[in-house]
Amino acid sequence: MGKWFRLYTKIHTYQYAVLGIVGIVATIIFASPGTDFIHVGRQRLDVFYISLALFGALFVLSVTDEYSPEDYGLYSSKSEK
């Protein structure tokens, strides 16, 4: 069961990177800059660039995060290497 749980935790770790990429691609395909804005005081913020920045930040943070099996109580054996 440790081998399957290790695979699950790796997939769970990488799902945020995939979500970031899918979000960036979906934003580029389905949205266009300059069509929708959010007004904050006198500032006018473009939703297209906000979503690109947020999905990009999610991708960068998820890629720079390290997977450590010890955090999940898993210890690698010589047979799994």
Distance in angstroms (rounded) separating the CA atoms of residues 81 and 68 = 15
Domain that includes residue 17, residue range: 10-67
33 domain residue, yes or no: yes
| Segment 5-45, tens digit of pLDDT | 666 666 666 788 888 999 999 999 998 898 889 999 999 99
**Based on the structure, what is the number of domains in the chain?**
1
- For residue 38, the one-letter residue type is I
- Does the residue 23 lie in any domain? yes
Model pTM? 0.68
Question: Does residue 53 form part of some domain?
Answer: yes
Nearest-angstrom CA–CA distance, 69 and 47: 38
Determine the 3-state secondary structure of 5 from DSSP. Answer: helix
Establish if 36 belongs to a structural domain: yes
Q: What is the pLDDT of residues 36-80, one digit of tens each?
A: 899 999 999 999 999 999 999 999 988 887 766 666 565 655 555
Burial of 32 (0-12, 13-18, 19+ CB in 10 A): exposed
